[in-house]
Amino acid sequence: MGNPVKFYEKEVNKIENKFSVLFKGRKPKSLYEPCSFIMQSGGKRLRPFLVVISNYAVSGRLSGAYNAAAAVELLHNFTLVHDDIMDNADKRRGRPTLHIKYNLSTAILAGDNLIGLAYEYLLKDCKDNDKKVLQTFTKGMIEVCEGQSMDTDFESQKKVTIPEYDLMISKKTAALAEMCCSIGAQIGGGNNIEIKALADYGKYLGMAFQYQDDLLDIMGDETEFGKTVGGDLVAGKKTYLFLRALEKAKGPQKTALQKVIKNKGIRRNQVKKYREIYVDLGVLVDAQKEIKKYTDKALKSLNKLTNHEAKEILIWLANALIKRNK
């Protein structure tokens, strides 16, 4: 088996190889070139890896789930393409977003097609009785749409509670990670206890991941993280940090935070000031506690698994995500 890092790298390499031939021989070029462009934009390939490792965790075999791994990355990339349109984003990982590189119509259609392709590849790894796999996948897809819609609602919603925020990220981020682990385990022939254990792992990992993302936005090193520090504040996003700060703040700090809502964001040169408010109110520490809470839940759910090698890798992965700086 070797160490987890090597395992991860080897599997991601296999996944990348799979991705490189996904659209081979397909036409029209006007549709598949943009599909290919977005799929080749790199990233951690976390979701397909969750499929592969969950499959391995229940079956002990590394096979049979690479098409499903491709399916979840295709689905994830559909969300990126359409979200970038909605967010008016020009760049993604240093490259132009699809609606900028091509045009709006092409980006919408490429995103749509990625959904169809996701199902096509998922079906390749489904046995005749794998109706549940498809139901799980579809549930994940719908939840992502619902979560994105809630996220958009938050922009114009004056009051958002932390439970509402948690519900939104559980749909927008955690549902997909949960789905990845669940379908990996289902395709591997896991029993219901194993499927539930891995699905829970994915869900809690997804929650921790999103909290970590919110934290990195304000804490991250600009060059490492690849995004502008404080971008969420500049955009006036109602993240956990912001909502928690609003909950705790009094007096002038409260007024300053309310201004972010009123003005739908802040100027770049105000980021430092708001970071100080966050530090002062202890919300960065609160977020770290939440991350630890969710990570602990993810790790605890692994107790039900018997494959020790896979467990070791899943533990490493959860910890690596906490320690990440981008």
Residue 104 is a binding residue for a second copy (CB under 8 A): yes
Min. distance of Cβ 23 from a second copy in angstroms? 11
The string over 124-141, giving b where at least 16 C-beta atoms fall within 10 Å of a residue's C-beta and e elsewhere, is ebbeeebeebeebbeebb
* ω into 28 cis (within 30 of 0): yes
Choose one: 47-55, 113-121, 218-226, 287-295; the region binding a second copy (CB under 8 A). Answer: 113-121
Q: Which of 2, 25, 28, 252 binds a second copy (CB under 8 A)?
A: 28
Both structure tokens of 157: 């919603």
Residues that bind a second copy (rule: CB under 8 A) add up to a total of 41
Residue 304 per-residue DSSP state = G
Smaller CB distance to a second copy: residue 152 or 307?
152
Min. distance of Cβ 107 from a second copy in angstroms? 9
β-partners of residue 208 are none
Min. distance of Cβ 309 from a second copy in angstroms? 31
* Helical pair 162-169 and 131-156, crossing angle rounded to 10 deg: 140
Q: 3-state SS of 86-126?
A: HCCCCEECCEECHHHHCCHHHHHHHHHHHHHHHHHHHHHCC
Q: How many residues does the chain have?
A: 326
Residue 123 is a binding residue for a second copy (CB under 8 A): yes
Residue 30 is a binding residue for a second copy (CB under 8 A): yes
Applying the rule CB under 8 A, the residues between 134 and 163 that interact with a second copy are: 134-135, 138-139, 141-142, 145-146, 148-150, 152-153
Q: 3-state SS of 136-186?
A: HHHHHHHHHHHHHHHHHHHHHCCCCCHHHHHHHHHHHHHHHHHHHHHHHHH
β-partners of residue 91 are 96
Smaller CB distance to a second copy: residue 131 or 158?
131
Biggest CA–CA distance in the chain, Å, is: 63
Smaller CB distance to a second copy: residue 104 or 279?
104
The amino acid at 46 = L
Q: Tokens 């959904």, residue? A: 115
Residue 228 is a binding residue for a second copy (CB under 8 A): no
Smaller CB distance to a second copy: residue 20 or 135?
135
Residue 89 is a binding residue for a second copy (CB under 8 A): no
Site string for a second copy, 46-85 (x = CB under 8 A): --------------------------------x---x--x
Q: Which of 1, 5, 86, 279 binds a second copy (CB under 8 A)?
A: 86
Binding-site ranges for a second copy (CB under 8 A): 27-28, 30-31, 78, 82, 85-86, 104-106, 108-109, 111-113, 115-117, 119-120, 123, 126-131, 134-135, 138-139, 141-142, 145-146, 148-150, 152-153
